[in-house]
Amino acid sequence: MNDAYGRRIDYLRLSVTDLCNYRCIYCMPDSGVPKKEHSEVLSVEECIDVAAQSARCGVRKVRVTGGEPLVRHGILDICRGIAEIGGIAELCLTTNGSLLGGFARSLREAGVDRLNVSLDTLRPERFASLTRRGSLTDVLEGVDAALRAGFGRLKFNVVLMGGVNDDEIPDFVALTREHPVEVRFIELMPIGECADWDRSRFVGGSRVLEACPDLSPTDTDGVAARYRIPGYAGTVGLIRPLSHKFCSECNRIRVTADGKLKPCLHSEAEIPLKGLRGEALFRAIRGGILQKPLQHEMERLGSRSVRPMNRIGG
Ligand code: SAM
Ligand code: SF4
């Protein structure tokens, strides 16, 4: 269905947990986040029903995210249930990759079509300090397992941070020489842990084009502007929520692990869905779509969301 401004809303980002086994410095405090009671979090059945009722509202693509979705108990049942919903054409999952080694094949069998793997650095020591507890080896093994399980068109999410990992832009772009993958550079958004970081950390996506002038524009894919170095197997995506506001093309709604529909990532509006099923859930989701604001004002006011990314679902 269309929202009040005529945008077709066909994409649901569903967070299945706030918890994570990593503590990326821009996303989570070192101490982690308080664990919620079972009763506060959407159950497996509720997650599937949220996707089913969203499909009735016109959603065609679902992305399962978190926190880290692979630490969620019942994640395979959630994926299987969503994949079976008529009308959902594409089921994707965003993961930090740490547990993919054990999960890749079952995710494929459960009906997940595509994976995005977050990878902010290719240097083992930097990886350990950026994630505060992660191992680059685990993620690379996970990526191998995903390829063996038949996941094609893998996407890597790289959050750009000035003075932290922007010196690795050419190394990431070099990955696309031999491999048919997409490396997506995402502008860091001032939300949660990094809301008060020094402005120099928030570098624009144009830094990528300056570092790799051979990149030529090809097309767009949702909110990503795509580039390729001629002759390379893979592509480079730029996601620029700060320097290139894409609200006019926004096609998404988000649902948090505790069942709040967020019509906009950066607004404080939240519609409670927990406890609703069937027709009542359908009506609440439809109401949420109609409440989508025209645009965020993050560049002027900062993010108005009361939650950090791990509690929204990035
Ligand atoms: N744990 C999974 C992962 O890291 O892929 C899924 C959840 S994570 C919140 C989803 C994506 O949001 C990751 O690619 C992460 O790097 C990104 N993210 C988190 N905080 C962000 C921020 N402040 N600005 C931009 N991207 C952010
Ligand atoms: Fe966990 Fe993903 Fe946040 Fe990193 S970005 S702390 S992996 S939820």
What amino acid occupies position 100?
A: L
Cβ–ligand 1 distance for 65 under 6 Å, the answer: yes
Read off the DSSP letter of residue 241: T
Q: Give the model's confidence band at 63: pLDDT under 50 very low, under 70 low, under 90 confident, else very high.
A: very high
- Domain with 264 in it: 11-311
Q: Is the pLDDT of residue 314 over 80?
A: no
Q: Decide if 237 contacts 221 (C-beta within 8 A).
A: yes
CA of 307 to the centre of ligand 1 (A): 13
Cβ–ligand 1 distance for 303 under 6 Å, the answer: no
300 inside domain: yes
> What is the DSSP pairing of strand 224-228 with strand 235-239?
antiparallel
215 inside domain: yes
Segment 124-129 mean pLDDT:
98
CATH number of the CATH domain containing 205: 3.20.20.70
CA of 96 to the centre of ligand 1 (A): 9
What is the number of the ligand closest to the CA of 21? 2
What's the total number of domains in the chain? 1
Q: Decide if 91 contacts 100 (C-beta within 8 A).
A: no
Cβ–ligand 1 distance for 118 under 6 Å, the answer: yes
Segment 57-86 mean pLDDT:
97
d(CA 259, CA 271): 8
CA of 160 to the centre of ligand 2 (A): 14
Cβ–ligand 2 distance for 158 under 6 Å, the answer: no
Segment 140-159 mean pLDDT:
96
2 inside domain: no
CA of 96 to the centre of ligand 2 (A): 7
3 inside domain: no
